[in-house]
Each structure stands twice: as structure tokens, then as C-alpha cells.
A and B are shown apart, each in its own frame.
Chain A
Amino acid sequence: MADVVLHPDRAATSKTVRKRGGLHNMLKRKSTVAFLMALPLILLIAILVIYPAFYALHLATLNKSMQRFIGLSNFEFLFKRETFWLVVKQSCIFAITAVIFKAVLGFIIAHFVHNIPAKGQRKWRGMLLVPWVIPPAMSTLAWLWLFDPSYSAFNYTLSFFGIGPIPWTGDEMWARFSVILVNIWVGAPFFMIMYLAALKSVPDQLYEAAAIDGANWWQRIWYVTLPMMRNIIAITTLFSLIVTFANFDIVRILTAGGPLDHTHIFATWAFRIGIEGSDIPLGASVSLFMVPILAVAAIFILRDISKRGNEA
């Protein structure tokens, strides 16, 4: 065998070169086919996602009529406006509060569904996921009707307990509460489904082992369930953070940003300024402020996803 390695004679070398060329062509052919199959996807991402993202950067440096380059003046203008800081604050509060409640609620519900006998689980799961299935614009309309200033079904019910009437969308604090509530209503079922899938993937033997070791139900959750679900929880939370932070439908339909801009978030305010107010550069500048937070969340998700890959 050794002499094979010791005799790379001239004939063999020249043959190798020829073969490399042939092989190379074949590889090239296969990768060309693959590239062509992926080309529509590449074009779509390049033209309709990457290009507009950079175009937004360019737009943000123009004046309102988009005739003149004004550098960072749009941003300076925003920093001076009180409404901008209100929007920053509200976007963060909405996203963080809503995501925390969604996560906790989803976890609790998932546990209850997981607790009941397996044959009933499908039915309950199916029922509890309905809010996620209805188009958010449509379900927010129902909430708007439930919150109606004069005909609110909630206020009607609460009046029997001597409470109310509550100005669900009229008062700034209540309006914020309402927006967050609808957000939770829409998003909690998604967490529930993700957690339920994760709970099912925890092997029963682990719980049995923990029970034999004398762990009570709380210790079982803390030492077995949570560590096993850590990755799913992280990914779901970060994903939901992006969706909630960038949300448009709920605020737009429920309050349209009011009362007095006290429920505006980045997306709705950018729409108000950029489309309704026809100040495209300023609107683009507003929406660009979402990028840093989205980027941080995306980086963490990518890290977790690749970690999952490594574990598997």
C-alpha cells in the first residue's frame, strides 16, 4: 500500500489534473442548478427586503419633499419632540409587559392542559388557540366593540358589581391597559402551544426520577421542566418580543394612537407621520428606531437556534 503514496509519478499527476477539471465541472453544474433553484428567493430578499431596508436609511436623510439631503436633521427633530419620547417609552412598556404576561400565562395554561387526561387535551388545545387563528384586525374589532364607550359589554357586566363605567379606550392609562390586554389575548395561545410541545418532549422518566428523589411539584417544575424547556422559552420569548414590539394592527384599530398619542408605538406613529402625514422621510426615521431592539433580539434568537442545532 505504501508504494502508492510513494509513487505519484508524472502520468498520475497529469491524470489528476484532468480529473479535477472534470469533477470541478460536475460540482459546478450541481451548484449552478442549486443556485438557480434558490435564485427567486435571493432576488425576493434582495429587492424587497434588503434594498428597502437601506433605502429607508437613505430616505431618513432627506427633507419632507425629498428634494434635499439634510443629514441627521430628521433625527435631531425627533429627539426634540416630546411625542417621540412618549412613543419610545410606550413601545418598550407595551412590548415588555405584554410579553411577560403572555409568557407566564402561556406557561400556566400549558401546564393545565398538560395535566388533564391525554384524550381531552386536543379539544382544549384547539379551543385555546382560537385567538391566534383569527386575523388580529378582525378580533381587535370585537375588542373595540367590547370596549365601546356607550355600549361596552364589559361595563354592562361590571355595573352589576357596582364598578365602572370604565373608559377603556378614553383614558390614557386605561387605553394602555386595553392595548396590552388585547396583545396578551392574541399572543398567549402561541406561547401555550410552544410550551405544550416542549412539555411533551420532556421524558416521563425524568419526572419519575425526580419524584423518587423526593421533589415536590414546584421543585419538579424548577429543576426538571424549566431547564428542559429553557431553549424553547428563550426562542419563543424573543420571537414574541419582535412581533409585539413591531405590532401595528391592535393599536391602530383599538385606539389609533389616542388619546392624545398616549398609546402610539413606533409602527403606528410611523404610519401616522409617513403615510397619513405624507412626511415619508420622517416616518422612515421613526421606523428605523425599531432596528436596534429587533437586531438584539434577532442575534439572541440566532444564537439559541444554532445552539439547538448543536445539541441535536
Chain B
Amino acid sequence: MTTATIDKAAPTRTVKYGSMSRDRAWALRWSYFFLVIFAIFFLTPPIYMFITSLKSSAEISAATNPWWVFHPTLENYTGLLTSNQFLRFFWNSAIVSIFVVTITMLIAVPAAFALSRMRFWGSATLATGVFLTYLIPETLLFIPLFKMFAVVGDWTGVQLINRWYVLLILYPTLTVPFCTWIMIGYFASIPKELDEAAIIDGASWFQTLTRIFIPVALPGLIAATIFAFTVSWAQFLYPLVFTTSTDQLVMPVGIITTLIKGDVFNWGQIMTGALLGAAPPLIIYAFLMDYYIAGLTAGATKG
């Protein structure tokens, strides 16, 4: 009786174990299969940008296999990188982004510190308000802002419209709320005892911020910096509305408005420009991926 049961049980058990691991192996194979498909879907546009950027206009208009480069050339790159106009776009974008990142951090970090550690009248409301502001899209505000700056120009004679530095005023409305919000989250995760220890050690509030909080929350600070940079580099609507002269344009708008001339599309140059425009965020992403992702997820998981 006993032996019979064991005999019966033994094979079924091994079969079950085998099928389990076989199931898992198949699940893994399917996972890779679909991941490859999704990767193709996600990477086709950037790869196609790169392929096209290596083609001459002649090869593009010959309508050969679009997925292959028969006569690779760097003429699109040399053409753009020697064009004063294009370099101007790049320069404008760089200057705007660097200034915006600096302004954003100077506003967001002290505010986040005040909101996460030093209660004052209305501070809780303000924290919520910061988050709500972050949810307001730029497409809601560009028309009244445009009119506002036009009116300011009329009244004071300070012309802001069609000047690249108007973007230094506009972009912080997009970057500061989010950066403040995630810095509040990072600061809030620092144990309270740490600032109490600093206070007992004789640090002022300012010293606590600069010598304890900023170094300890450095990963959050980097994530916020990356976010501010990517947002200001990628912003399209505000420069499209507020700047028109070619010497005032930033990358995205510059490429779209100057390289697309009526119906004549020089796609080789456009794709090269787009790739060069996408390069700075991609390079930062390649080197600081973990901070980038931490910043992305922090918006919803912190606070």
C-alpha cells in the first residue's frame, strides 16, 4: 500500500517540477520576444533619424530602400555645424537651459526646505498649491502670458517679446513647481534628528540647508536638475509663441521653422538637426539614467 502510493507519487512530482521550470523558460522566451518587438517600435524613429542623417539629398529623392544607407555621408552634419544660424540655435538653447536650471534651483531648494521643515502660516496650503501648479499645462497660460508681456512692453518700454531671455521668465513656471515638489519629498525623507543634531551643533537654518540638507539630498538635487534641464531644452510652445526672429530662436523651434522652407523639405538636414537637438538630453540620460528615473518616479511616490 505505502510503496504503491510512493511509486505513483514520485513520477507525477517530477513531471510537475519539470513542467514548472519549462513554463518558466517559455515565459522568459515570450518576454524576450515581446521586448524585442517593443524595442523595435520604440527605437525605430530615433534610428531612422540617424539613418536619414547620413544620406545626401540625392539619395533621399532617389527613393531607394529608406532603411539602408548606400552612400553614407557626413555632409548634413558638417553643413549644420558650420551654419552660424544653427550654432546660434544651439547656443541660445544652451544658455537658456543653463540659466533656467540655475534659477529653478535657487528658487526651488530654499522653498522646499522651508516647506518641509519650517512651518509657517499657510505653508501646508502652499505645498498643495505647488503641486497643483505643476499640474497646470503651459497650453493653458500661453495666451494670457503673451498678452501680459505685450502690455508690460507697452507700459514700461521693456520689450520682452521676441527676446530669448523672455524664456528665462517663462520656463521656471514649468520647472520650479515640480522641482520644489520632489525636493520637498527628498527633504522630508531626511530624519528629523539630523537637523536637530545640526541645530545643537550650532548650525543656523541656512547652514543646516547648505551643509547638511543639500549634501544629503544630493541624488534628489541631481534628479531635479536633470528634470529642469530636459524640460527647458525640450520646450516648444513658449519659444514658438514668444520668439520669432531667427537670432532669438532655440533649437526645437529653430529647426522646425528654418529647415522646413515651404514645401521644400531637406529631410537629411532636418533629421540631423533633430538628432543634434535630441543629443544633450540623451547623453545626460545615458550617463545619469538612475537619477533620471528616480526623478520621474519621485513625482508620484514622494510627498
Give the B-binding residues of A (Cβ under 8 A). 30-35, 37-38, 40-42, 44-45, 48-49, 51-53, 55-56, 59, 66, 105, 108-109, 112-113, 115-116, 122, 124-139, 141-143, 145-146, 148, 150-151, 153, 156-157, 185, 188-190, 193-194, 197, 232, 235-236, 239, 242-243, 246-249, 252-253, 266-267, 270-271, 274-275, 280, 283-284, 287-288, 290-291, 294, 297-298, 301-302, 305, 308-309
Contact = CB atoms under 8 A, between A and B. Distances in A.
B73 to A, nearest CB: 18
Contact of A138 (B106, B177, B278): B278
Contact of B281 (A134, A153, A249): A134
Given A138-B277, A139-B278, A302-B128, A38 B35 contact: no
Given A53-B136, A151-B60, A145 B143 contact: no
Contact of B271 (A124, A142, A305): A142
B297 to A, nearest CB: 5
Contacts, number: 283
A42 B265 CA distance: 45
A168 to B, nearest CB: 13
Contacts of B136: 49, 53, 294
B143 A280 contact: yes
A112 B30 CA distance: 8
Most buried by A among B130, B140, B141: B140
Contact of B140 (A34, A53, A153): A53
Interface of B: 27-28, 31-32, 34-35, 38-39, 41-46, 48-49, 52, 60, 63, 65-67, 106-108, 110-111, 113-115, 118-121, 123, 126, 128-133, 135-148, 169-170, 172-173, 176-177, 180, 205, 230, 233-234, 236-237, 240-241, 252-253, 255-256, 265, 267, 270-271, 274-275, 277-278, 281-282, 285-286, 289, 292-293, 296-297, 299-301, 303
B296 A44 contact: no
A290 B140 contact: yes
A142 B49 contact: yes
Contact of B35 (A51, A59, A112, A309): A112
B146 A275 contact: yes
Chain B interface SS verdict (over half): helix
Given A37-B113, A55-B144, A56-B144, A151 B66 contact: yes
Contact of B45 (A32, A40, A131): A131
Given A124-B39, A194-B300, A302 B60 contact: no
A237 to B, nearest CB: 11
A189 B176 CA distance: 24
3 smallest CB-CB distances across A and B, nearest first, come from: A135-B234, A246-B137, A34-B118
A287 B143 contact: yes
22 contacts: A31-B120, A34-B114, A37-B113, A40-B107, A45-B129, A49-B136, A55-B147, A109-B38, A128-B39, A135-B278, A143-B45, A148-B267, A189-B42, A194-B297, A194-B300, A197-B301, A246-B138, A249-B236, A271-B237, A294-B137, A298-B135, A305-B300
Given A41-B107, A45-B130, A151-B60, A283 B143 contact: yes
Nearest to A301: B135
A37 to B, nearest CB: 4
A153 B133 contact: no
B79 to A, nearest CB: 17
Name which of A33, A115, A133 has the most chain B CB atoms within 10 A of its CB. A133
Nearest to A275: B241
A49 B126 contact: no
A246 B110 contact: no
Contacts of A132: 296
A288 B277 CA distance: 32
B131 A305 contact: yes
A190 B230 CA distance: 15
